[in-house]
Amino acid sequence: MKMEASITFPCPPEHQSKVDWYQQRRGRGLRYDARAKHRLHLSRRYEISFAERAVERRNKESIQAFARVLTNELQAAVAQPIVRELELAKRFRVEANKWEQETMHLSSTARRVLHPSYQAIMGMGPEVVPILLRDMKQTRRSWFWALRHITGVNPVDPIDVGNVDKMISAWIEWGSKEGKL
């Protein structure tokens, strides 16, 4: 910030004449400025510039604090869905492995679907659909009932019902079109 200043002295009573005062002080590089308005203006300019600097400093500190808070919130907002998805994937894996272990010997689809772990997976909601599709693609487990229940869609052609490979490929194709994979 550029600041201009000049030093002014009040006129002592013994030097009433401006000329005398100026001539007396001229050798020292000082001069008397009789314009009181100018002196008030100078002092106000200093007060304003100091106040402006203080306000600017406070504004800068506020902006920096806001940026820190925003950065922390943004990091949390970005990390939170990732953490939620990882927790969901972990819960899914636990329930899916438990379901597979406890129902692998059952031939009844109804009993397999009514198992508490399968029901827990269906209760995870729409967020689990991509995980179900990936698991179906990798392990070839039959998540058809869960997918149909959660999404409300059945992309499997009635002719292909019972053909697990075609049913899986129909769901994978649907997931790709819907952006779930």
Question: Is a pLDDT exceeding 80 seen at residue 139?
Answer: yes
Question: Is a pLDDT exceeding 50 seen at residue 7?
Answer: no
Q: Is residue 45 within 8 Å of 2, Cβ to Cβ?
A: no
Tokens describing residue 9: 């002295």
What is the band of 32 on the pLDDT scale with cuts at 50, 70, 90?
Answer: very low
Tokens describing residue 107: 């031939």
* Least confident segment among 62-66, 164-168, 171-175: 62-66
Alpha carbon of 50 to those of 3, 40, 41, 102, 124: distances in Å?
A: 10, 15, 14, 77, 60
φ and ψ at 156, to 5 degrees? -80, 130
Query: What global pTM score does this model have?
Result: 0.56
Please name the residue that has the structure tokens 């308005």: 37
What is the band of 12 on the pLDDT scale with cuts at 50, 70, 90?
Answer: low
C-alpha to C-alpha distance for 160 and 172, rounded to whole angstroms = 14
Torsion of CA 20, 24, 30, 36, to 10 degrees: -30
Question: Is a pLDDT exceeding 50 seen at residue 118?
Answer: yes
| pLDDT of the residue at 86 | 81
Count Cβ atoms below 10 Å from residue 18 Cβ, excluding itself.
13
What is the band of 142 on the pLDDT scale with cuts at 50, 70, 90?
Answer: confident
C-alpha to C-alpha distance for 165 and 153, rounded to whole angstroms = 18
Instruction: Count how many Cα atoms sit within 13 Å of the Cα of residue 22 in the half-sphere of its side chain.
Output: 5
Count Cβ atoms below 10 Å from residue 165 Cβ, excluding itself.
9
| pLDDT of the residue at 53 | 75
Compute the mean pLDDT over every residue in the chain, rounded to the nearest whole number: 76
Domain regions of the chain by residue span: 80-178
Instruction: Count how many Cα atoms sit within 13 Å of the Cα of residue 31 in the half-sphere of its side chain.
Output: 7
Q: At what angle do helices 129-139 and 144-151 cross, to 10 degrees?
A: 160
- pLDDT tens readout for residues 103-115: 989 888 889 999 9
C-alpha to C-alpha distance for 148 and 9, rounded to whole angstroms = 91
C-alpha to C-alpha distance for 56 and 63, rounded to whole angstroms = 10
